[in-house]
Every structure is written in C-alpha cells, then in structure tokens.
Amino acid sequence: MAFYLYLVVLLATSAPLATSGFNFSNIAVKEHIDEPPQSWKNLGLAPPDHILHLRIALPQSDFAALERHLYQVSDPAHERYGAHLTREEVEALVKPKRESVNLVEEWLTMHGVDIHRDVTRSPAGDWLNLALPVGLVEIMLHTTYHVWTHDDGSSLVRTTEYSLPAHLNDHIQLIQPTTMFSRTRRFRASFIWDDEGSANIVADVIGLESNFSSTHTGIDPGCRTRITVSCLKQIYNAVGYNTTRDNGNQIAVTGYLEEFANKQDLHSFFAQQRSDAIDSSFKEILINGGLNSQNLSAAGPEASLDVQFAFGLTFPTPATFYSTGGRAPFKPDLNVPTDMNEPYLDWLDYVLSHPNVPQTISTSYGDEEQTVPKSYALRVCQGYAQLGARGVSLLFGSGDGGVGGVDPNPTQLCTTNDGRNATRFIANFPASCPFVTAVGATQGFAPEVATTRFGSGGGFSDYFQRPAYADEAVASFFEQFPKDTYAGLFNPEGAPIPDVSAQGDLYLIFLAGVQRLIGGASAATPTFASIISMLNDARINAGKPPLGWLNPMLYSKGFEGLNDILVGNNPGCGTQGFNCTRGWDPITGLGTPDFAKLKTIVMGL
C-alpha cells in the first residue's frame, strides 16, 4: 500500500519531468472489448494494492524482414532452405526502435517507475515487464480494474478498455494484463480414467473399430485397445530406427499450470514399454515459479503423458521438460489467488534468451482463440516465428472440442464474445498461429480414422489469414466439402487447423503409480513431435540442418510421407463439424506420419 501511495503522490508532481514535449493529457483508447467471454462474472472493484505483472509490447522494428527470412529458410524450394538465423540475427530484426524505447521509458519515469531497477526486458528488448499496483496502473492506463470470477472458480483482475497518451500509440503495441480473459488450459477433458467407467468407453471405441479391422496389417492387434511406444512405432513405420545420444539433437516438452513430470512414474513406464531407457532421465527447467515437488500423488496427467511418450519414443535423444509457473514470483496475493500471468511469454523470454534451444518442442495447451486478445495472439505468434527462424519446430495440440473449441462437448453453444452472441465455430490458439504446426487426433489403423470419443480440434482461424503454402490444400478441401455448408460459422480465408495428426486415444501411461488410459490432442502432439525429432536426428547425423518451421515443407513435399485420413468428422457447436476428405481436411490435416517415407523425403532436401 505504501508503495502505491508514494507513486500517486509522485505522479501529482511529476508532469514537469516530461521532456519530449508531448501533451500527456491527450489520450486515446488503445484496446476495448465489448464484454468478457462467457462464464466470467464481475465481483467488483479490484483492490488498489493488488500487484499486476505488466507486459508492454513495443513494435518490432522489422518483423516483415524476419518473416521473409523465415519463409526462405523453411521452404524446400528455396536456395536458402535450412540456413537458419542465429539468436543475434533474429534479435536485430525484432528489437524495437530507439524512439519507441525512449518515449515509453519517459512515460514510465513520469509515473515514478525506475526503469533500471523496476523493468526487465525480453532478450530483444521488445517486451518490457514490470510489477505495479492496480491503483497506479489505473492512472497510467486511464481505466478501472475489476475482479472477475469464472464458473470454474478461478479469478482474474482485468478491465474491458484501456487508453494511452495518443503520442504513444505507434510505440506501444499492447499492454497486458488488461483485456485478456484467456487462460492457458491443458486439453484435459479427454482423459479416460482406467477405472470401472472407462471399461465401457474402451469397449465403445473397440466396437467401432471392429467394423474396419479385418485387414491384416502386421501390427500387434493389442494396439487397438492400448497404445504403447511399440504400437506407435509400428503404426508409423518407425520400427528399428535408433536415435543418437550425442549428435546435438534434443527434444523438449512444455508444461504449464503447475504440472510436473514424476520420475517414479516415468521409471515404471520405461520398465513396461522402453526397458533400455530405464536408467535415463531428463533435464527439468523451472521457469517463473514452475513446480517440481516430485510428490507422486500430485503428478500431472498432461506432463506424465507428454514426457512418457515423447521421451519413450525418442530415447536416447537428450530430453528437456520446461515447467512454466503461472503465478508471479514477487507477491503471493491473497485477494486474487489464481490471477494468471502470461505463461507463453514467460516461456518465450526464457527460450529466446538461450543460444541452443531444443530443435523440437511439443505443447499440449491452448485456449479458445476469441478469448485471447488479437493483439496478444499476433505478438505471441511472432515470438514463435522467431524460434522457427532459428530452426526450431513447434508442435501444438489442436484441441479436443471438434469445431467447438478446447473441450469435448458437441452440444456446446458456440457464441462470439463481440457483443453479438452470434453462433460461430471456435478455433484454438496457439494452434491457429501459422508459425507452429497444429496436431489433430486419430484412432485405430487399417483404416486409421479421426477420433470418435472426442472431436479432433479443427477449422479456420478468425485472427490469422491463410498462408499461401496452404492455398492448394484448402482449395482441394472445399472442392469436396462445399464452402457454404456452414456459411457464416467460420472464416474460409483463415489459417487452416490442424496441419497434421497422430494417434490420440487409449494411450497407456503411469500416473501417480497407477496405469491409466488417456487420450486427446494432448497425446497426438508429443507423438508427432517425436517423429519430427527422429527425422531431425537423421538429418543432423548426415550433417544437415534441422527441419525448423515445418509447414511450408509439409504442404509442398511432406504430404507424400503422410497417411491421408479419409474417415471421420469433428462434431461441435451442435453440428456434425467438417468431414475428412482426400488430402488436407480441418480434422486430421494432411494426415499422420509414415516415418520411413518422411525420412526419405527429408534426407533428400
């Protein structure tokens, strides 16, 4: 409280400090939302001494040039394919202009902020981070914060509009937390618990598959009821390929929401499914208060699934688990115990500051695109582009709600939160960012079909335009599935989701000492990431650069190494969703991997 009062007093007397000559009373609305997403209730004014962990985005000086480089080094038809940029080269392109830095620092100083002591910066200096009390932020942003609570019990301190001195408009792209009501969510609703209830669900899935299963495939028939590391190698034609421990190739999995991977569970999993890895471990990196208590009964299902399969498939490739905390480390706050920061940015700050980032990174988290402010989504996506330019492949789950968002619920009413309550399909972010590769979910084999117990997340972004590399694939889809089928419910010009897919149900894992069956885009993502990591292993052994941002390669050459999925749909929003078609579709993307074929393709690039 004292800090807050001190700053307010200082503010009242600080106007003469201004040196740029701009009129700070001349303000303009920076961002506005009509209402928060559904399920949020206003509990009243925020306490003025609640601490906000403010993130200020300054415009990147030449993102267009970064994007040009990224396309060239990621396009197999370009002579610069594989010539990834260094950390320093990327930072030079995205660092803010000097003028922006000066004007923003002047504004902060005016409000009593010590820019040397109180402000930390992203590696390129394009984000400023500082902790300030609500009372002061309200003065700086000409706004009023409220406490909002969600039906699920979590709470946030947010506003629906904020303003800035007009002369800063071109020098600040966005400030959060302000209008952002999204939360990083694991795609968790599709876990099957291996208890009484799940026996029936398993039987349903098997019953459905028995319609298709007469063909002899050579694949262990047990893989129809339980997916193991061995099953995935068989289904994806990777049996017998051994990765290398010390060629510099690495794989990583990200975890959020206080999840950590339990080593005892991993040990049990390896004992059962990957006995040669039994004594292996992985590197844990805790970012911004990420947890790792190793308390067996508190092990996270998402972290367990991701770590067990990604590391089980790619052993002995060195493996990293990033645990990014969601809470500010500076002040546990009793008023608003679950107020989340922006964990994607915390994670990006961390990895972008390191020279050697793992070449393949799997993330099974996301939230509904419309709940993420567009300005924020664009900037986080630009952060992913920076990693792509440096040769990193980012894989994100596409969600489990079919055309209806994160969670499986085919009858969910999907409405816009732009004040109109219009019915609209819901895409997930970050899967919708074109600079990552979005992974949908399948099940079974001979034939492999889209998942049935939940809908593979898919559709079209409302924020990101379709990149040119996907033009042909999407046009071919609309030849088979008329564009006007759901006229007005989606943006046919938007970036397509997902790009690819992989098995996404009935995964056998260990969790808190017990075997469980589990499924979701959460399962498909580490599997596809593992195949990419194995391809990188082969390329690196041959002296070639890693694959980096995958999409231009996948849509031009790679699809010949993918199994086209022809059966299934992804219900949501009270509809049957889209249908699988020949070629790309918004359920299973271009298809599931055939490792041996993909290896031949990428070794020829």
Ligand X SMILES: *[C@@H]1O[C@H](CO)[C@@H](O)[C@H](O)[C@H]1NC(C)=O
Would you name the residues annotated as active-site residues?
302, 306, 522
For the bound state, the minimum distance from the C-beta of residue 392 to ligand X, rounded and expressed in Å, comes to 27
292 Cβ contact list (under 8 Å, min separation 6): 260, 284, 286, 323
Helix ranges restricted to H, 245-401: 263-273, 301-314, 343-352, 374-389
Q: Of 26 and 215, which CB lies nearer to ligand X in the complex structure? A: 26
For the bound state, the minimum distance from the C-beta of residue 152 to ligand X, rounded and expressed in Å, comes to 17
Q: Of 80 and 245, which CB lies nearer to ligand X in the complex structure? A: 245
Q: What values do phi and psi take at 73, rounded to 5? A: -75, -10
For the bound state, the minimum distance from the C-beta of residue 376 to ligand X, rounded and expressed in Å, comes to 23
For the bound state, the minimum distance from the C-beta of residue 601 to ligand X, rounded and expressed in Å, comes to 19
Q: Of 217 and 295, which CB lies nearer to ligand X in the complex structure? A: 295
For the bound state, the minimum distance from the C-beta of residue 511 to ligand X, rounded and expressed in Å, comes to 12
514 Cβ contact list (under 8 Å, min separation 6): 194
Q: Report whether 430 contacts 495 (CB < 8 A).
A: no
How far is it, in rounded angstroms, from Cα 323 to Cα 255?
5
For the bound state, the minimum distance from the C-beta of residue 513 to ligand X, rounded and expressed in Å, comes to 12
Q: Of 45 and 298, which CB lies nearer to ligand X in the complex structure? A: 298
Given the structure tokens 């941002």, which residue do they identify? 549
Q: Of 27 and 446, which CB lies nearer to ligand X in the complex structure? A: 27
Q: Report whether 341 contacts 324 (CB < 8 A).
A: no
Given the structure tokens 């028995």, which residue do they identify? 210
DSSP assignment letter at 579: B
Q: How many Cβ atoms are within 10 Å of 491's Cβ, its own excluded?
A: 18
Q: Of 210 and 295, which CB lies nearer to ligand X in the complex structure? A: 295
Q: How far apart are the first and last CA of the chain?
A: 61
110-122 per-residue burial string, b: 16 or more CB within 10 A, e: under 16: bbbbeeeeebebb
How far is it, in rounded angstroms, from Cα 336 to Cα 318?
39
Q: How many Cβ atoms are within 10 Å of 163's Cβ, its own excluded?
A: 16
How far is it, in rounded angstroms, from Cα 512 to Cα 186?
18
How far is it, in rounded angstroms, from Cα 64 to Cα 89?
14
Q: Of 157 and 580, which CB lies nearer to ligand X in the complex structure? A: 580
Q: Which token pair is 481? A: 């599935």
For the bound state, the minimum distance from the C-beta of residue 482 to ligand X, rounded and expressed in Å, comes to 6
Site of interaction with ligand X (CB under 6 A)? 23, 25-26, 240, 242, 295, 297-298, 419, 421, 481-482, 485, 569, 579
CA distances in angstroms from 197 to 201, 222, 297, 325, listed in the order given: 7, 20, 21, 33
Q: Of 323 and 579, which CB lies nearer to ligand X in the complex structure? A: 579
Helix ranges restricted to H, 62-133: 63-74, 87-94, 98-110
Query: Which helix (H) or strand (E) element contains residue 253?
Result: strand 251-255
For the bound state, the minimum distance from the C-beta of residue 347 to ligand X, rounded and expressed in Å, comes to 24
456 Cβ contact list (under 8 Å, min separation 6): 398, 400, 402, 440, 441, 442, 450, 498, 501, 504, 521, 568, 570, 587, 588
How far is it, in rounded angstroms, from Cα 340 to Cα 498?
27
How far is it, in rounded angstroms, from Cα 587 to Cα 180?
28
Q: Of 119 and 208, which CB lies nearer to ligand X in the complex structure? A: 208
For the bound state, the minimum distance from the C-beta of residue 190 to ligand X, rounded and expressed in Å, comes to 22
How far is it, in rounded angstroms, from Cα 409 to Cα 412?
5
Q: Of 34 and 89, which CB lies nearer to ligand X in the complex structure? A: 34
For the bound state, the minimum distance from the C-beta of residue 211 to ligand X, rounded and expressed in Å, comes to 14
Q: Which token pair is 554? A: 């996948």
